[in-house]
Amino acid sequence: MSKPGNYEAVRKDIVKLLHQPEYDDGSAGPVLVRLAWHSAGTYDAETDTGGSNGAGMRYEREGGDPANAGLQHARVFLEPVKAAHPWITYADLWTLAGCVAVREMGGPEIRWLPGRTDYVDDSKLPPRGRLPDGSKAADHVRAVFYRMGFNDQEIVALCGAHNLGRCHSDRSGFDGPWVNNLTRFSNQYFRLLAGLEWKLVTLPNGVKQWVYEDEDGISERLMMLPTDIALRDDPVFCEWVDSYAEDKELFFEDFAKAFAKLMELGITRDARGRVTNADNVKGGYHS
Ligand code: HIF
């Protein structure tokens, strides 16, 4: 067991578990990034509910949300790390793992601060339906991310995370990866979104998505969600898509800031960075 507060030791153990030859594309990285984002992305700024505090996905009410299908894999990957460092909260572990995974897959360093609680505050529980629906258009994407407090530029920067991983027909109904090198963080997502000719298709399960096929039709099919294509086709979003397609450094910088902000939603800190709303939660329960 590591010394409480030794986040470096936790980081090292997260790095060690990323290589998973038997799982998916051989890496736990993408699904860990998704776990971190879904833990935080339920936040509603107006009512100050949802967010990563509480690690609510451990329980059926949030964990069983169809939007979170598949994320049990990410939580299971992290169990040995929790066992080796029992002092870390799940809420901290899940958010840290996402940031470490981005960095290890070649992305930017994301500023991450500890202090989240595993107390579940009943008054802060998010209702289901707060996470975005990939079949929708730009107005839906804006509604979801404005609710969390993001602007148009930050939304597009965040969406570059779809450079990682893939869709699974048994989880979301969508199918396939956004890019070829799907465990390497880069701005390829934006280059492909802006540069390729995408075709709308209906999958055998009735789900509609956009695909690109090489002329020979042999190489693996790449895909885009309707919400991804919405970024290309919206007059404001598309300016940022082009900027990030052209300038990888700018994308890395903006992504790191936006993702760090996402991880902090619902967490308040004092001047020294200590969390002020994680302890002594009234009416909550602890795992
Ligand atoms: Fe995703 N996202 N996301 N996403 N996402 C999926 C997979 C990943 C949306 C829908 C989906 C973000 C925003 C949005 C990752 C990271 C981020 C899947 C496929 C869907 C449907 C799930 C599956 O079938 O396994 C929508 C509608 C979003 C709003 C536009 C974030 C910015 C891009 C916030 C973000 O960081 C990652 C990583 C994956 C890959 C997971 C995997 O298991 O490989």
Q: What is the pLDDT of residues 197-231, one digit of tens each?
A: 999 999 999 999 999 987 766 556 899 999 999 99
Looking at the structure, tell me whether residues 202 and 273 fall in a common domain. Answer: no
- Domain residues for the domain of 119 are 7-131+259-281
Looking at the structure, tell me whether residues 221 and 270 fall in a common domain. Answer: no
Q: What's the 156 CA to ligand 1 centre distance in angstroms?
A: 13
Is 51 a member of any domain? yes
- Lowest-confidence pick of 158-172, 210-224, 252-266: 210-224
Q: Is 44 helix (H, G, I), strand (E, B) or coil?
A: strand
pLDDT value at position 287?
44
**Residue of higher predicted confidence among 276 and 112:** 112
Q: What is the share, in percent, of the chain residues with pLDDT greater than 70?
A: 95
Mean predicted confidence (pLDDT) in 247-262: 98
The 3-class SS string of 14-40 reads HHHHCECCCCCCCECHHHHHHHHHHHH
**Residue of higher predicted confidence among 220 and 287:** 220
Looking at the structure, tell me whether residues 109 and 68 fall in a common domain. Answer: yes
Looking at the structure, tell me whether residues 164 and 124 fall in a common domain. Answer: no
Pocket mutation for ligand 1, best pick of 25, 148, 162 (most atoms within 8 Å of C-beta):
162
Is the CB–ligand 1 distance for residue 167 below 6 Å?
yes
Indicate the pLDDT class of residue 284, thresholds 50, 70 and 90: very low
pLDDT value at position 213?
83
pLDDT in tens, 100-140: 999 999 999 999 999 999 998 888 889 999 999 999 999 99
How many domains does the chain divide into?
2
Distance CA 153, CA 243 (A): 10
Is 287 a member of any domain? no
The 3-class SS string of 157-193 reads HHHHHHHCCEECCCCCCCCEECCCCCCCCCCHHHHHH
Give, using CA atoms, the residue closest to atom 23 of ligand 1: 167
Q: Which two tokens stand for residue 105?
A: 């897959």
pLDDT in tens, 40-75: 999 999 999 999 999 999 999 999 999 999 999 999
Looking at the structure, tell me whether residues 266 and 241 fall in a common domain. Answer: no
Looking at the structure, tell me whether residues 108 and 223 fall in a common domain. Answer: no
Asked if this assembly's ipTM is beyond 0.90, the reply is yes
pLDDT value at position 1?
79
Sheet with strand 222-224: strands edge to edge: 199-202, 208-212, 222-224
Is 2 a member of any domain? no
pLDDT value at position 82?
98
